[in-house]
A and B are shown apart, each in its own frame.
Chain A
Amino acid sequence: MADKVLMKGNEAIAEAAIIAGCRHYFGYPITPQTEVAAYMAKKMPKIGGTFLQAESEIAAINMVYGVSSAGKRVMTSSSSPGISLKGEGLSYLAGADLPAFVVNVQRGGPGLGGIQPSQSDYFQSTRGGGHGDYRMIVYAPASVQEMASLTVKAFESADKYRMTAMILADGTMGQMMEPVDLDALKVNPAPEKPWATTGTDMKREHNIINSLYLKPEELEKVNFERYERYKTVEANEVMYEEYLMDDAEICVAAFGIAARVSKNAINVARAKGIKVGMIRPITLWPFPKNVFKKAAEKAHTFISVELSMGQMIEDVKLSTECKANYVLCNRVGGMIPLPEQVLECIENAAKGEQK
């Protein structure tokens, strides 16, 4: 195992981005994601890349827009309040059909909130955040190895579908250290980008990257076309992990750090004879709807374990058509649910069904 390195989640994202061919990073420091920028600041100058600490988050996301227009793999990272500032840029990237990689290492909110971990930007990342009809592919890593592997995946899917792919992590994922096998990362080179502003060589008309459409008919047409592309994403890009779901009568839904905590609780509950399993969405959009729908054939109760006031639970209810019982098991404000709390929710759900 000597080829493994011990990395913080934030560092794993930065190194994986470099491995994925990203040579352009624009950001602005904010806890708990600052190590992404710090790592890039140390590494990019040594490999001929660009690290630029922008004057603001808004500037950084617009620099991403520029480099992406020129056809290069590019990224920015921030934490919750900073992602809100980037909201306008995310909408413009979507309107211009530009691939981009954006990292949100979430902290407690709303407002300035706090610096401790949170998952309360689920709505912001899966429902919009910026204005207009658009989607982002949202990945939710639950280990430092996944912080790396999903970073590579995000660059590839962003290029493939010409849209923003986001890593939605939390402060714990960003700060915790685990061994990472970087050699395991397999990277597909970026595809040809005939739409980019990389020069015409006098062989074609120049490309224009823009999100403004003068005629409403045209704007409607590109919106419909874009949503056809999103349908392909929904069909092809769903990722999830099922844990002990074969005979599960109680289904825990959790992602990221909440899934790590839940797994411990599920193991204890199983030892007590409770038929409980977990579905861990790895993509939050597209959401693994069909897996939840199928789970509802056997499961009477769904427990959504979240570091929010209950955001993903809405997707769990929609996917299962509100046919089961639903329980929210949560901590917020920078607090993390303990396995004991999750176990209590599982045991209550098991007792409730016996009545």
Chain B
Amino acid sequence: MDYKRITIVCGHYGSGKTNVALNMAYEQKESGKDVSIADLDIVNPYFRTKDSIDELNRRGINLICSDYAGTNLDIPALPDEMYSITDNKHKSFVLDIGGDDRGALALGRLAPAIIKENNYSMIAIINMYRPLTRDTDSTVEVLREIEYAGGINFTAIINNSNLGADTTAQDVIASLPYAEKISKAMNLPVIATSVNEKLKNELIGKISNLYTMNLQNSLINKEC
């Protein structure tokens, strides 16, 4: 994938934006870029980018996130290090933004500087299998709310339609028309269809813009 200096990843709760953001950071790091990932979710204290801290450390990717993520303190705090996103123009950043209009407010603080520099992409992550974004109208409504709150308009779409660990290749294929409709309604390109790397062999050749991902480990299904 081609990356701008700042990649902003937004989407409704459960769209899978954290996994997409992590994989975008991995890919940029592997291509030799100095990349940081910023978890700017101020809404949900569960299941955060911080859960992947060991993997990020192993790969040498800097994580910018609230000191309180994953702790018992439930406050919408942002780290002061977030200002390096717009100040430090020698580095690349992937931004993981909270899952709705309230979550996207955190982005609004940085939006004017990001737009002024004009070296960013703002990516909408969509998932047809989530209950509040099942069709074109409801999905577009949610995405417009995020744009309004965040102060930046989307520049592209990634179709990340999935049913969690149970996702089949057929589920992904069934979501392609959904992504096309949203692409038309918002006049934005679908730059990737992102899937668990386990589905790669089944889908390669069937989907032109396939993007395979390493997923965060789930504690619940962990084996002994």
Interface residues of A in 6-32 (CB under 8 A from B): 6-8, 11, 15, 31-32
Shortest CB distance B105–A (Å) = 15
Q: Which residues of A contact B14 (CB under 8 A)?
A: 6-8, 177
The complex places the Cα of A338 from the Cα of B221 at a distance, in Å, of 10
Tell me, yes or no, whether B3 is within 8 Å of chain A by CB: no
Q: Closest residue to B14 on the A side, CB-wise?
A: A177
Tell me, yes or no, whether A2 is within 8 Å of chain B by CB: yes
Stretch from B113-121, B126-134, B192-200, B204-212 that touches the partner? B126-134
Q: Mark B31-65, 1 if CB is under 8 A from A, else 0.
A: 00000000000001111000000000000000000
The complex places the Cα of A319 from the Cα of B69 at a distance, in Å, of 41
Q: Which residues of A contact B224 (CB under 8 A)?
A: 264-265, 268, 339-340, 343
Tell me, yes or no, whether B72 is within 8 Å of chain A by CB: yes
Could you tell me if A15 and B131 are in contact, using CB atoms closer than 8 angstroms?
Answer: yes
Do A108 and B72 form a contact, CB below 8 Å, given A1-B163, A6-B14?
yes
Tell me, yes or no, whether B139 is within 8 Å of chain A by CB: no
Could you tell me if A339 and B74 are in contact, using CB atoms closer than 8 angstroms?
Answer: no
Could you tell me if B47 and A339 are in contact, using CB atoms closer than 8 angstroms?
Answer: no
Could you tell me if A177 and B164 are in contact, using CB atoms closer than 8 angstroms?
Answer: yes
Tell me, yes or no, whether A114 is within 8 Å of chain B by CB: yes
Tell me, yes or no, whether B1 is within 8 Å of chain A by CB: no
The complex places the Cα of A6 from the Cα of B16 at a distance, in Å, of 11
Q: Which residues of B contact A257 (CB under 8 A)?
A: 220
Stretch from A168-176, A196-204, A208-216 that touches the partner? A168-176
Interface residues of A in 296-355 (CB under 8 A from B): 334, 336, 338-340, 343
Tell me, yes or no, whether A115 is within 8 Å of chain B by CB: yes
Q: Which residues of B contact A343 (CB under 8 A)?
A: 224
Q: Mark B162-176, 1 if CB is under 8 A from A, else 0.
A: 111010101100100
Q: Which of A15, A39, A113, A179 contacts B72 (CB 8 A)?
A: A113
The complex places the Cα of A141 from the Cα of B217 at a distance, in Å, of 22
Q: Which of B47, B74, B162, B166 contacts A115 (CB 8 A)?
A: B74
The complex places the Cα of A31 from the Cα of B44 at a distance, in Å, of 8
Q: Which residues of B contact A140 (CB under 8 A)?
A: none
Interface residues of A in 248-300 (CB under 8 A from B): 257, 260-261, 264-265, 268
Could you tell me if A175 and B47 are in contact, using CB atoms closer than 8 angstroms?
Answer: yes
Tell me, yes or no, whether A221 is within 8 Å of chain B by CB: no
Q: Which residues of A contact B129 (CB under 8 A)?
A: 4-6, 179
Shortest CB distance B20–A (Å) = 15
Interface residues of A in 131-179 (CB under 8 A from B): 171-172, 175-179
* Most interface-central of A171, A176, A257 (chain B CB within 10 A): A176
The complex places the Cα of A5 from the Cα of B163 at a distance, in Å, of 7
The complex places the Cα of A340 from the Cα of B224 at a distance, in Å, of 5
Tell me, yes or no, whether A116 is within 8 Å of chain B by CB: yes
* Most interface-central of A5, A172, A178 (chain B CB within 10 A): A5
Shortest CB distance A53–B (Å) = 14
Q: Which of B47, B130, B223 contacts A5 (CB 8 A)?
A: B130
Do A179 and B223 form a contact, CB below 8 Å, given A32-B46, A334-B72?
no
Tell me, yes or no, whether A35 is within 8 Å of chain B by CB: yes
Q: Mark B126-151, 1 if CB is under 8 A from A, else 0.
A: 01011110100000000000000000
CB-defined A-B contacts under 8 Å, sample of 16? A1-B170, A1-B171, A4-B129, A5-B131, A6-B163, A8-B13, A32-B45, A39-B132, A113-B72, A115-B45, A175-B44, A175-B46, A178-B166, A260-B220, A261-B220, A338-B222
Given contacts A1-B166, A1-B168, A31-B45, 11 further A-B contacts (CB under 8 A): A1-B171, A6-B164, A7-B14, A7-B130, A113-B72, A114-B71, A115-B45, A172-B220, A179-B163, A334-B72, A343-B224
